[in-house]
Amino acid sequence: MTGLLTTRPMTADLTDRQRRILARLVSDYIEQGEPVSSAWLAEHSGLGLSSATVRNILARLEEQGLVRQPHTSAGRVPTDAGYRLYVDWLLHSRRRLKSADDIEHRLRRAGAVGDLLENVSHELARASHQIAFAMTPANATVRLRHINFVCLDAHRVLIIVVATGNQITHKVVETQEPCDMAVLEQAAQYINTEFAGLTLLEAREAIVARMREERMLYDALLTRALQLAQSGLDEVAPEETLRVQGVSFLFDGALGGSVDREQVTLETLRALFKLLEEKHRLVELLTSYIEADGLTVVIGSEHTSPDMHPFSLVASTFHDGPRTGTVGVIGPTRMRYQRAITVVDGVSQAMARVLEGN
């Protein structure tokens, strides 16, 4: 799966020469960070074209919205649409990551899932020189074992939820009705009989559905049991696990000139760092993009969040039975896409093999 461009450029009538000139322009701009001139392309494209012919090609590409001229006397730079075509070509000719076997070996030495994600994000950041992340979704397989309601005083109830994997959570809730231990024991017995063994998500959904049934409204005990159980299960909602590393690479790039400062300003860096700190927002963003297995590339203005327009995302989602994960990198639109795609794809495949082996 490629990115989320809502309005794709009209490229059906691009000639092979135009495509090759565009690809060379994008790759050279990524490496040099300077607008690419027609004279330079004529000399280095390997197509044996004159500067005048290249200028005409660039004019055509500009009409297509694939390149732009930042200043009247300057060369051209790619637009987000130009990057998109370039990336789509790369996706059709992906290379294998040469160090994939070494990375897989290092990942296999990780213990818990958290350690594995930490190692994956580290490997990605080191290999791509970009901000890297590794994410696993909420564990949907955790099941409710039993629930207990304990009377603390006249109007406070302690809810204890025990789930598989020795997951135990506590929550104290205020109640309007006076606390009656015998009633609470009956309420807990009802919940355990009806819902124990379901996943936490299934249990919450079943309880909500049961509360909507009109006949429940006439049974005070059952209504109270369902309300308490719902409150307790809300506290043990499975959460996504996310690891992020390599923020210093973007900061170093901004200082060293490998990032376009007219795009990635101090303000945009602050916005990105805030997004990274508020990990729930990053999880929501990633979840909204990634709908299927395989590679996803989102470039600049393709992002739904304006704060992300100066940046691109390369990610890969994989699964091994019930276990899934997403790994990827975030960097400026002028990132080395060939390297990013190769690294993300290779690490994703290595991660899938490690999970399969476990």
Average pLDDT over residues 55-66: 95
State the Cα torsion 36-41-44-49 to the nearest 10°: 180
**Per-residue DSSP letter, 143:** B
Query: Tokens representing 329?
Result: 């990198």
115 or 254: which carries more pLDDT confidence? Answer: 115
Cα angle vertex 28, ends 25, 30, to 5°? 105
End-to-end CA distance of the chain: 27
Q: Which CATH architecture has domain 97-137+240-357?
A: 2-Layer Sandwich (3.30)
Q: Alpha-carbon distance 350 to 31, whole Å? A: 28
What mean pLDDT comes out for the span 28-55?
Answer: 91
Report the C-alpha gap between 281 and 133 in whole angstroms.
14
Edge to edge, what strands does the sheet with 156-163 contain?
144-153, 156-163, 167-174
Higher pLDDT, 269 or 235: 269
Section 233-247 average pLDDT = 72
Where along the chain do its domains lie? 16-91, 97-137+240-357, 144-234
pLDDT tens, position by position, 169-209: 788 888 888 888 888 898 899 889 999 998 887 888 888 88
Scan for tokens 């004019």, then name that residue: 59
Q: Tell me the pLDDT band of 1, cut-offs 50, 70 and 90.
A: very low
Helix intervals (H) in the chain: 16-32, 38-44, 51-63, 80-92, 100-108, 113-128, 181-195, 200-212, 220-234, 247-256, 266-277, 279-289, 337-357
Q: Is the pLDDT of residue 32 over 60?
A: yes
Q: Is it the case that residue 321 has pLDDT exceeding 90?
A: no
At residue 4, the pLDDT reads 43
Backbone angles phi, psi at 252, to 5 degrees: -65, -35
pLDDT score recorded for residue 256: 55
Q: For residue 259, which of 353, 159, 129 has the smallest C-alpha distance? A: 129
User: What would the mean pLDDT of 220-233 be, rounded to a whole number?
Assistant: 79
Distances (CA, A) of 104 to 128, 129, 340, 358: 16, 19, 17, 13
Which string of DSSP letters, residue by residue, matches 314-347? EEEEEEETTEEEEEEEEEETTS-HHHHHHHHHHH
**Of 102 and 299, more confident:** 299
Q: What is the DSSP letter of 218?
A: G
Highest mean pLDDT among 246-250, 293-297, 342-346: 342-346
Indicate the CATH number of 144-234 among 3.40.50.300, 3.40.630.10, 3.30.390.60, 3.90.1150.10.
3.30.390.60
d(CA 243, CA 118): 6
Q: Indicate the SS3 state at residue 157.
A: strand
Instruction: Determine the Cα–Cα distance for residues 20 and 47; give it in Å rounded to an integer.
Output: 9
Does this model's pTM top 0.75?
A: no
* Beta-strand runs (E) in 101-240: 131-136, 144-153, 156-163, 167-174
b/e sequence 118-136, b meaning 16+ C-beta within 10 Å:
ebbbbbbbebbbbbbbbbb
Task: Band the pLDDT of 317: cuts 50, 70, 90.
Answer: confident
Selected from 1.10.10.10, 3.10.20.30, 1.10.520.20, 3.40.50.2300, the CATH number assigned to the domain covering 16-91 reads 1.10.10.10
pLDDT confidence of 6, banded at 50, 70, 90?
very low
Mean per-residue pLDDT of the chain: 81
At 138, the pLDDT band (50, 70, 90 cuts) reads low
Percent share of the chain, pLDDT over 70: 82
Please say whether the beta carbons of 167 and 236 come within 8 A. Answer: yes
Q: Quick one: average pLDDT of 129-151? A: 82
Task: Dump pLDDT digits (tens) for 72-111.
Answer: 777 999 999 999 999 999 988 777 776 667 777 777 776 5
